[in-house]
Amino acid sequence: MSRTPLIAGNWKMYKTGPEAVAAATRLAELASDIVNTDIMIAPTFLSLPLVSGVLAESNVKLGVQNLFHETEGAFTGEVSPGMVKAAGADYAIIGHSERRQYFGETDDAVCKKVKASIDADLIPILCIGETEEQRADDKTFSVLDKQITNGLNSLCSRDLGTLVLAYEPVWAIGTGKTATPEQVAGIHEYIRSLINRLFGNELAMSIRILYGGSVKPKNASELMALDDVDGALVGGASLDVDAFIQIIRYDR
């Protein structure tokens, strides 16, 4: 089965509104001829409506880096899936390791956010990955098992038709230490087999599994060439439109 690659940029807490608009405008121009790759950027909530206007006629989609699972209510400081959908987002990054690490996000909270995203017709990108310590302790597979099993608890393959997974080893994020192609190949194969075991072959074959962690123009093509890698979730390099477009054009 062929899976359309997705190259997604997580802008984290970078770029003011005007900076985000300028970068998105340039990206939309540079990516206007790309038809065989899905492209997404996730700016801050604040920039979402501004960037949405710029991307409306383009083939670059918009996402958020987080959301809250309730539809509305007295939840000070939070933003709902319906609100981000109305502001123009199609994707929601859920359970990024920085949210787990700095904001105490649990698998249970992640699961609620995945469900709420699907209910609001957003495509969830569920992030999973082990820390350096967990890898050293040989716990990589058990950590991924737990994050996937609990993060998708009580969902079924029918619900998960649009779900994207992003394997982001924590030790490779923002460190310049990319996982080797051999490491990535083994983990992605394992993740696909786990999805097969939990949800069946059809979802396992169709689900897109992205790699994230120090993806740069120089290493994108060797990572994207791997059978079970269906795109990238890019942090630092996505902030620079020229670097990001090179990653998007990895196979050209």
Catalytically annotated residue among 98, 105, 130, 168: 168
| Closer to ligand 13P by Cβ: residue 51 or 204 | 51
213 binds ligand 13P (CB under 6 A): yes
Report which residue type is found at 154: S
CB of 5 to ligand 13P, least distance (A): 16
Active site annotation includes 72: no
235 binds ligand 13P (CB under 6 A): yes
CB of 214 to ligand 13P, least distance (A): 4
CB of 40 to ligand 13P, least distance (A): 11
- How many residues touch ligand 13P under the rule CB under 6 A: the total is 14
Identify which of 238, 221, 252 has the alpha carbon closest to the alpha carbon of residue 93: 238
Identify which of 23, 147, 24 has the alpha carbon closest to the alpha carbon of residue 89: 24
| Closer to ligand 13P by Cβ: residue 10 or 117 | 10
- Neighbouring residues of 29: CB distance < 8 A, sequence distance ≥ 6: none
Catalytically annotated residue among 96, 98, 130, 188: 96
For residues 196-208, one letter each, b for 16 or more C-beta atoms within 10 angstroms of the residue's C-beta and e for the rest, the string is eebbeeebbebbb
Could you give the CA distance from residue 121 to residue 149 in angstroms, rounded to a whole number?
A: 22
DSSP 107-173: HHHHHHHHHHHHHTT-EEEEEE---HHHHHTT-HHHHHHHHHHHHTTT--TTTTTT-EEEE--GGGT
- What percent of the residues of the chain are helix, what percent strand, and what percent coil, each to the nearest 5? 45, 15, 40
Compute the C-alpha angle 174/179/182, nearest 5°: 170
| Closer to ligand 13P by Cβ: residue 63 or 88 | 63
Of residues 168 through 187, those in contact with ligand 13P by CB under 6 A are 168, 173-174
Give the binding range for ligand 13P (CB under 6 A) out of 45-53, 74-82, 167-175, 199-207: 167-175
Question: Which of 96, 100, 188, 192 is the binder for ligand 13P (CB under 6 A)?
Answer: 96
Q: Is 68 in a helix, a strand, or coil?
A: coil
Give the binding range for ligand 13P (CB under 6 A) out of 28-36, 72-80, 193-201, 208-216: 208-216
Question: Which of 5, 6, 7, 10 is the binder for ligand 13P (CB under 6 A)?
Answer: 10
Active site annotation includes 69: no
Q: Which tokens in the block code for residue 159?
A: 């619900």
Question: Which of 28, 207, 234, 243 is the binder for ligand 13P (CB under 6 A)?
Answer: 234
Tokens 């619900």, residue?
159
212 binds ligand 13P (CB under 6 A): yes
CB of 57 to ligand 13P, least distance (A): 27
Return residues touching ligand 13P (CB under 6 A): 10, 96, 168, 173-174, 212-215, 233-237
Residues labelled as active-site residues: 96, 168
